[in-house]
A and B are shown apart, each in its own frame.
Chain A
Amino acid sequence: MTSQPQIVGNSPIRKEGIAKVLGRARYVDDITLPGMWFGATVRSSIPRGRITSIAFDPSIPWHEYTIVSAADIPGENCIVHLTKDHPCLAVTHVNHCEEPILLLAHPNRSALPAAVAAVHITYEELPAIYSIEDSEKKEQIIWGEGESANTFKTYLMQKDQKPIPDEIWQTADYIVEGEYRTGAQEQLYIENNGVIAEYDAVKGVTVQGSMQCPYYLVHALELVFNLPAEKCRVIQTETGGAFGGKEDFPSVIGSHAALLAMKSGHPVKLCYDRAEDMAATTKRHPSRTRHRTAVSKDGKLLAGEIDFAIDGGAYATLSPVVLSRGTIHAPGPYHWPHLTVRAKAMTTNIPPHGAFRGFGAPQSIFALERHMDKIAKVVGLTPEEFRRRNFLATGGHTATGQLLKDPVDMQHLLTRALEESNYHAKREQFDRDNPTSTIKRGIGFATFFHGAGFTGSGERRLNSLVEIELTPEGQPRLLVSSTEFGQGTNTILCQIAAQTLHLPYDQILIAQPDTGHVPNSGPTVASRTAMVVGKLVQRAAQSLLATLAPLLSSRSAAEGPAVASELPHDYTPEDFRHAALHYLAEHGSLKTEARYQSPGDIFWDDETYSGEAYPAYAWAVYVAEVAVDTTTYSASVTNFYALQEVGKVLHPILAAGQIEGGVAQGIGYALYEKCTWNNGHLANNQMTNYIMPTSADVPPIHVTFEEIPSPHGAFGAKGIGELPMDGPAPAILNAIEHATGIAFTEIPLLPEDIFERMTRTPEAGSESLDTAVAGPIFSEATA
């Protein structure tokens, strides 16, 4: 008898960790192919206009270069994401700064910058728009027509598919309004976007590089090259951070490099430097959220109207699905008797915004959690008490009408988080100390949820497939397109397989994601890998075990009677290897698979925007402590508590690392990271002037988990990747309001913003919540 050590729930070392600490992990820019050339991109210098001429400066020996224009594209001149609006290379018009127009390749990397600068393009400039407000005016139509002019997507989400009855507004004790804004945010993975492409007239296109979703790139290449999927091979190399920034963008850079490879007849490496990556690739969508909320005297939410708008940039990319997640998360973990969310993704002449951890949810949750503090103040309750009176609970229904069958206990989470952070005592202490100190301290929190997996019917459409094969040595190897980019995909999937197969963790192998060899297990996004792909790995492993059972159970049978319906479990790794080799000797190979099966009780209606939006949710309470220096006007986070219920934690060290990393990005989102646009061009496209948190900027981050196993994921796991991006910004601004008495409504909140607001004279504005002076911000309706 062998007793299986617990692998899931422990923290074995990261699967590819040794290569990483030795500096031997091979990222795309570390790879050189024989005869390889280098690529570069000639980009638009204006935000919007018609291309009138392209001239090549005679100072450059152009015969040494390969030059690709849209005319060289064998298929459609289009990067396909959800719609076909995004040109691979601009032809007649450009719609944003840095839009690609031409591609160059040369054997010598250093010969490229001068050549890019020597392509002279003239334009007839057209008026450009840079904000949601300008886009809404529709004075300039830069995308679509009619209803969809300047509008990539709209959603109307109504509780019970009914409008809010007028009498709710007429009879509510309070109506509280607010407007909240969030800025663009750069993913700032430390490894820039990069790929190497090869072309062969018979075999087709091969692209290897830094990416999250190899099959997205296959899909893009099929269209650009007019080739069948089997002639578009994509391989993920070690990826130095992604955070969503390598979800949709590799379709662009991958197609570009492949075009250069085809025309030059050489493998072509196209790796951006930091300035190009920051200026030209996607960022988090800026947002504007308007809340109008009816509340009763006793602090019950009666109805809410939420207008949620995001700036999608010049092309649609993933804006419709970012908007979708933002819309569904906009109501938060609260019970709304009546609710209407109107959401829209608008077009501007900014480089297209795309995926970034959280995917629309951090924007709408920021607005809601600031607004909840505001309502509490108006009603005269503490932020804690007001939330407690409105939390969703087990058996309740979300705004999309989803019944919360799995246990949810926000009351308990809030109690625990406030206790662990010593919230009440600190609040009192700061209130005592602040009047006599130039450093104003505050403590605030946010309560929120995050859905795991693709939104709505997404998982059903993805139809993901996972395979496990036996190597000739009898070792199981996982075949998935799910990618590792730091979050721990390799490790947790191998843990799940090891636990299921009763084998040591280090005996499980995982294949490099290569679409020539691995099936499509879906994109590595949406906090779906642990839950959805993990479950498929578990099922494929069970299937492998069932196939080998006769060879394993003969041994078990010798040791005692086995229950026929049970998979074997009393065997040693050596027994497994013998059984595997025996099977291979007899049958040649063994590969088992598992395909996604939609749980029978999950239904989603895209038309009415109702139903089971996500199979499972993670629930969280984050508490931030801040210090605002009234001499320098800088705010810093001095302590942070992150408590979450995420189902089974598969790997405690990786999970805590995910939360801490997300919190640090959230601190940057709230207090440091500002994209400064100058006529549609990112003016601060350098690490020197785009400021992300350093090791000296992060506070102690106390991470705690509650684990309620979910029926949807392997061993009860839910998703955690995006969750920690949602809570920090509103918790920090709630704490800053406690510290300063000022209700800031916009992020990033930089020292100059705090200075501007704190030095404003009373005549110019007031945060007084006396209804007589509060003006249009909120009004007290008569009961």
Chain B
Amino acid sequence: MTQIHFTVNGESKALEAPPMKRLLDVLREDLHLTGAKEGCGEGECGSCSVLMNGDLVNSCLVPILQAEGAQITTIEGVAITEQLHPIQQCFLENGGAQCGICTPGMILATHHLLKKYKDPSLLQIQEGLSGNLCRCTGYIRIFNAVQAAALAGVAE
């Protein structure tokens, strides 16, 4: 067991965990943040995506030891108090969420993408989200949602 100190959605956390325990499991089991989902357990589907020090990571591939001192943002930390974040609002309005299981990861990937590109081209959106699989939408409504969020000036 290892002592881990890190910040999750702006709150500092201290906990004990086996050093190789996956960040995903620590979030879901120890911190009861179940917004990140396990889709494949091998970094292919992106449904466990979270932001770690501003980078988009698959939390199923991050041993908790590696998160020592890190700043983590999960889907639970995206909304501004009870108000939807503009990206969430754009996903909602544009049909970007269907079954919803990939949605938390998609929204974090969008968040990351719009930090990188204020006004991404379709190609940049396609590449930026290509680590996040969606089986329902065919991605088209997700592209629309990202473009709408860019238009709303999400990146500040």
Contact = CB atoms under 8 A, between A and B. Distances in A.
Interface in B1-53: 28, 34-42, 44-45, 47
Interface stretch (A66-74, A239-247, A332-340, A619-627): A239-247
Contacts of B34: 23, 26-27, 29-30
Interface stretch (A150-158, A464-472, A660-668): A660-668
Contacts of A265: none
A82 interface: no
A728 to B, nearest CB: 10
B71 interface: no
A22 interface: yes
Counting contact residues on chain A (CB < 8 A from B), the size range is 35 or more
A241 B136 contact: yes
B138 A664 contact: yes
Contacts of A14: 92, 95, 97
Contacts of A25: 100
Contact of B107 (A21, A24, A663): A21
A17 B92 contact: yes
Interface string A1-32: 00000000001011011111111111101100
A9 to B, nearest CB: 15
Given A241-B98, A686-B40, 9 more contacts: A22-B75, A23-B103, A24-B76, A27-B34, A190-B47, A240-B101, A687-B45, A695-B126, A695-B143
Contacts of B38: 29, 273
Given A18-B84, A189-B135, A273-B41, A653 B141 contact: yes
Contacts of B94: 653
A188 interface: yes
Contacts of A243: 135
A565 interface: no
A657 interface: yes
Interface in A215-249: 238-243
Interface in A529-556: none
B6 to A, nearest CB: 19
B56 interface: no
Contacts of A654: 95
Contacts, number: 170
A653 B95 contact: yes
B129 interface: yes
Sorted nearest first, the 6 A-B pairs with minimum C-beta distance are: A23-B35, A240-B101, A486-B99, A20-B100, A23-B75, A664-B138
Interface string A636-668: 000000000000000001101100111111000
B142 interface: yes
A189 B137 contact: no
B88 interface: yes
A355 interface: no
13 contacts: A21-B84, A29-B34, A242-B99, A273-B38, A657-B138, A661-B137, A686-B42, A693-B138, A695-B132, A695-B143, A698-B139, A700-B140, A701-B138
Given A29-B38, A660-B140, A240 B44 contact: no
A20 B79 CA distance: 12
B99 A665 contact: no
A24 B37 CA distance: 11
A661 B101 contact: no
Contacts of A27: 34, 37, 101
Nearest to A655: B95
Majority DSSP secondary structure for residues of B touching A:
loop
B142 A686 contact: no
Contacts of A692: 133, 135
Given A687-B40, A692-B133, A21 B138 contact: no
A191 interface: yes
Contacts of A660: 137-141
A485 B41 contact: no
A11 B94 CA distance: 9
B85 to A, nearest CB: 9
Contact of B135 (A16, A188, A688): A188
Contacts of B141: 653, 656-657, 660
B68 interface: no
Given A190-B101, A274-B40, A687-B40, A22 B125 contact: no
Contacts of A13: 92-93
A18 B125 contact: no
A761 interface: no
Contacts of A26: 34
Contacts of B129: 695
A487 interface: yes
A63 B55 CA distance: 45
Contacts of A688: 40, 42, 44
Interface string A741-783: 0000000000000000000000000000000000000000000
Interface in A14-63: 14, 16-27, 29-30
B17 to A, nearest CB: 12
B36 to A, nearest CB: 8
Nearest to B32: A32
A241 B100 CA distance: 8
Contact of A21 (B39, B103, B132): B103
Given A22-B84, A657-B141, A694-B133, A191 B37 contact: yes
A564 interface: no
A585 interface: no
A20 B100 CA distance: 5
A485 B28 CA distance: 22
A190 B45 contact: yes
A696 interface: yes
Interface string A85-113: 00000000000000000000000000000
The CB with the most chain B CB atoms within 10 A, among A238, A239, A664, is that of A664
